[in-house]
Amino acid sequence: MNTLKFITAGNVDDGKSTLIGRLLYDSNSIHTDQLGILQKQTKASQNGEIDLSLITDGLRAEREQGITIDVAYKYFSTDKRKFIIADAPGHEQYTRNMITGASNADLIILLVDARKGITEQTKRHASIGSLMGIKKAVVAINKMDLVNFSENVFEDIKQDFEEKRAELNYNEIIYIPVSALQGDNIVEKSENTPWYTGEAILPYLEKVEISTNVQSLARFQVQWVIRPKDDAFHDYRGYAGLVLSGSYHVGDKVKILPTGIESEIIKIERHQKEVEKAQAGENIVLHLKDNIDISRGDSIVKVSEAPQEANQLKTWLCWFDNTPLNLAKTYLLQHRFKTVRVKIQSIEQKWNINEWQFSPTEEVRLNDITQVNIKTNQALFFDAFKEIPQNGSAILIDETTFNTVGACMFL
């Protein structure tokens, strides 16, 4: 089964880091030496128990403040699956970090404090996950031990979230009552919630099915042109990269973009072995029938499956920089391995995530999410983000400082 990449999000102190720590601890995924360090760090605590939140709160500044600032990544596996977890900040001012963590996630776990219910931050995080194309969501109603594991509290919060569901684009949402601190319904079903008939979090994560874009249109962008030019591989010419979506087979008729030259795949290599086909998520080397001048950033697509081509496009833009967007400035748009110069022609509207409403705006500041119109200095070959996220997103770079100032999701 494929690796599951998921992100946790919620208000400050809702228990995101503790939840991740509990997942790792109860699934025996913490190394002995790391466990010893955690025991020493929490020796002075009142009850002597390990502070599981420290497993992800790795920065000293974060520990001193008792919060998570950066996106902390953790890797673990069980007998059934491998996992990559992103623990995103809870503060509103770190929306950009939340978007960074959600950009590659297959699933989102939304933490809700059972005592507080659905908050503005819950809506914000649910909206961002939906915007970033995540289709699966787990609403983990945490701290159930502080409300005596009340079924009524759980059902009320579930109903509140369901009322907002129509405004989100998730295909599947499940609700789980948990206590991250005590371990209820994290790895195993809890006896404290006999009224809950669903699964604990980990068993659900182990079996949930995630789309791999195999059924989408075939997309491949050249990351590296391999030309050894030695005696053993004198005529070797391969094009290395990741299959972003769809699949490629030996014998496929393909078109090279931007030149538009057509050719045929005569060989596919994966892990230095020849294969007949390759599909989304696999790193491969393509060999073509014709000797064509192909460069890093060029796309190889099937003749019958061309992407959109434009030098004017509409996109969602999340602003990452402390300096506001400057409409008079030229920026660099990095579309995977293809870089073009762009101008932001106009700002259409701003997304007020907390209220799920759009409003007019004339400026874009840190953490704002807006719709903008972009003009590029050369044609870009892309897909809508909602259809093929891997080929429908890009980053915006300040060409003077080379800071990443924004993330784009093409419409």
Separation CA 277–CA 175 (nearest Å): 39
Asked whether the domain spanning 219-302 has the same topology as the one spanning 4-207, the reply is no
Determine which helix (DSSP H) or strand (DSSP E) holds 20, and give its type and residue range: helix 16-26
Q: How confident is the model at residue 230 (pLDDT cuts 50, 70, 90)?
A: confident
- Predicted pLDDT at 93: 59
In this predicted model, which residue has the larger pLDDT, 110 or 100? 110
Q: What is the pLDDT of residue 70?
A: 55
| Mean pLDDT value across residues 146-168 | 93
| pLDDT score at 133 | 85
Parse the chain into domains and list their residue ranges: 4-207, 219-302, 308-410
| Average pLDDT estimate for 212-238 | 85
Digit-coded pLDDT (tens) for 339-368: 999 999 999 998 876 666 778 888 899 888
What topology does CATH give the domain 308-410?
Elongation Factor Tu (Ef-tu); domain 3 (2.40.30)
Instruction: Give the list of residues 6+ apart from residue 124 with CB closer than 8 angstroms, or none.
Output: 92, 95, 353, 354
Question: What is the average pLDDT across 219-223?
Answer: 97
What pLDDT sits at residue 146? Answer: 95
Q: Which CATH architecture has domain 219-302?
A: Beta Barrel (2.40)
How sure is the predictor about 125, in pLDDT bands with cuts at 50, 70 and 90?
Answer: confident
- pTM for this prediction: 0.79
Class of 4-207 in CATH: alpha beta
Q: Are 375 and 345 in contact (CB under 8 A)?
A: yes
d(CA 343, CA 374): 6
DSSP states along 54-90: GGT--SHHHHHHTS--SPEEEEEE-SS-EEEEEE---
**Which of these ranges, 85-99, 144-158, 202-216, has the smallest mean pLDDT?**
85-99
What does the DSSP assignment read for 267-295? EEEETTEEESEEETT-EEEEEESS-----
What pLDDT score does 57 carry? 53
Q: Which residue has the higher pLDDT, 74 or 256?
A: 256
Taking residues 246-275, report their average pLDDT.
96
Could you tell me which of 30, 27, 32, 28 has the C-alpha nearest to residue 54?
30
pLDDT in tens, 308-347: 999 999 999 989 889 999 999 999 999 999 999 999 999 9
- The predicted structure's pLDDT at residue 239: 96
Q: In the chain, pLDDT over 90 holds for what percent of residues?
A: 56
Higher pLDDT, 25 or 228: 228
SS3 state at 254: strand
Highest mean pLDDT among 7-21, 56-70, 341-355: 341-355
Lowest mean pLDDT among 247-256, 298-307, 352-361, 391-400: 352-361
Q: Is the pLDDT of residue 306 over 60?
A: yes
- Over residues 25-56, the pLDDT tens digits come to 777 766 554 555 555 555 544 455 656 555 55
